[in-house]
Amino acid sequence: ALRYDAMADEIEVKENLYVEDSQIMALAKDPEIYVKIMADMFVYRDAIEASHGAGYFQVLHIGNTYNLYKKVVKKYYPAKKAQNSFESDVLATYVDRPIYYLVSQEGNFQEFKSSKNKRLKLFQNKQSEIKKLVKSGKLDLTKEEDLLRAVKYYDAISSAQ
């Protein structure tokens, strides 16, 4: 039995589902090992640059020229008690923040920034073709499925050359 723990950024393993949780072990962090949990594939990558740290990345697309990786960063916000009767208590929460990376076959990571225009700049010399795709397909590059579609198209036109 496998699961990805985003807070600890590790893959947890136990022999089967019926074994006690105290027997959970962490999988070795090795770039040679990949993990497939249902339809999700995770790979471990070492920190190559300061722009991305070492850790597990979810593989969203494997292409001939470019891949799309997703890193889920979890942030914990502790509970807050109300200071007075005009405020209300706030429960503790976890917030997921996905970070997407365009990864070349050579292993160069380029982070997709949060704005649409900054995301378009990552498509370099094919920017005009991607803009046409975004406009004709009414894509929102801040949504994962639309970004995935744009990366697949970019990979296809980049590998065709």
Whether residue 41 is predicted with pLDDT greater than 90 in this model: the reply is yes
Task: Note whether 28 and 12 are within 8 A (CB).
Answer: no
Whether residue 51 is predicted with pLDDT greater than 80 in this model: the reply is no
Residue 73's pLDDT is: 87
pLDDT (tens digit, 9 = 90+) per residue, 105-129? 888 888 898 888 888 888 888 888 9
Average pLDDT, the chain: 88
Whether residue 155 is predicted with pLDDT greater than 60 in this model: the reply is yes
Q: What is the mean pLDDT of residues 46-57?
A: 73
| Of residues 64, 27, 25, the one with CA closest to residue 42 | 27
Residue 88's pLDDT is: 93
Whether residue 48 is predicted with pLDDT greater than 70 in this model: the reply is no
**pLDDT tier for residue 58 given thresholds of 50, 70 and 90:** very high
Whether residue 78 is predicted with pLDDT greater than 60 in this model: the reply is yes
Q: Exposed, middle or buried by CB within 10 Å (0-12, 13-18, 19+), for 30?
A: exposed
> What is the number of other CB atoms lying within 10 angstroms of the CB of residue 74?
13
Q: What is the mean pLDDT of residues 33-51?
A: 82
